[in-house]
Amino acid sequence: MTSFVAIAIRTANHKPTSICHISLVVVRHGQLQERMSVDIATPDTPHGAGRTKPTFLNAWRSIAPLIGNLPLVTYNGALCESCLKSIFKLYGLPYPDFTFICTYTVCRKLRFSPALPNYKLSTLAERCGIDPQNLSQAECIAHIALKVL
């Protein structure tokens, strides 16, 4: 697979609707192209506390055109999908028919490297020759996906 969107979602707490950060990298024909990273005011942020951050709804207006019909590649597909479904439901939005591909699951199924001590994102990135300290999570996911998909 050479065209996809690598996406990483961070939540503020255990609630799937508490998305506080989304980073993504659009990969087309094997090349990392567009990058976006946005901090988001969570739905339960006290009024005024997150004034400088967009709501998920406002952030999504910029994110959606970058995704288009491309598959979403993530490190933890189940969590990412759960968060997006929950926040779309919270805002009363129709949920798009996303295709999710989870690099964690793919690497585990391929037994990517039996010598790995674990399958953490940073470990997988290092195994792929990527320095995770200098890249966003979405960039790490994109590079790993280009190696294993």
CATH superfamily, region 4-148: Ribonuclease H-like superfamily/Ribonuclease H (3.30.420.10)
- Name the least confident of 24-28, 81-85, 132-136, 142-146: 132-136
Opening angle at CA 125, ends 122 and 126, nearest 5: 85
Residue 115 pLDDT: 73
Q: Could you tell me the sign of the dihedral formed by the alpha carbons of 117, 121, 126, 129, in that order?
A: positive
The residues, ordered by sequence, that sit 6+ positions from 61 with a Cβ below 8 Å of its Cβ are none
- pTM of the shown model: 0.89
Mean pLDDT of 122-148: 87
Which amino acid is residue 122, in one-letter code? S
The mean pLDDT value for 128-145 works out to: 88
- Are 35 and 138 in contact by the 8 Å Cβ rule? The answer is yes
Burial group, residue 115, by CB count within 10 angstroms (0-12, 13-18, 19+): exposed
Cα 43 from Cα 68, distance rounded (Å): 25
The b-or-e profile of 39-66 (16+ CB within 10 A means b, else e) is ebbbbebeeeebeebebbeebbeeeeeb
CB 132 within 8 A of CB 121: yes
pLDDT in tens, 48-93: 555 688 999 999 999 999 999 999 999 999 999 999 999 999 999 9
**pLDDT (0 to 100) of residue 146:** 93
Which among 111, 141, 110 is positioned nearest to 128, based on CA atoms? 141
Percent of the chain whose predicted confidence (pLDDT) is above 70: 93
Query: In the structure, what pLDDT confidence band is assigned to residue 117 with cuts at 50, 70 and 90?
Result: confident
Q: Is pLDDT at 141 greater than 60 in this prediction?
A: yes
Task: Assess whether pLDDT exceeds 80 at residue 138.
Answer: yes
Domain ranges of the chain: 4-148
| Integer Cα distance of 6 and 22 in angstroms | 11
Task: With cut-offs at 50, 70 and 90, classify the pLDDT of residue 3.
Answer: very high
Residue 7 CA to its chain's centroid (Å)? 2
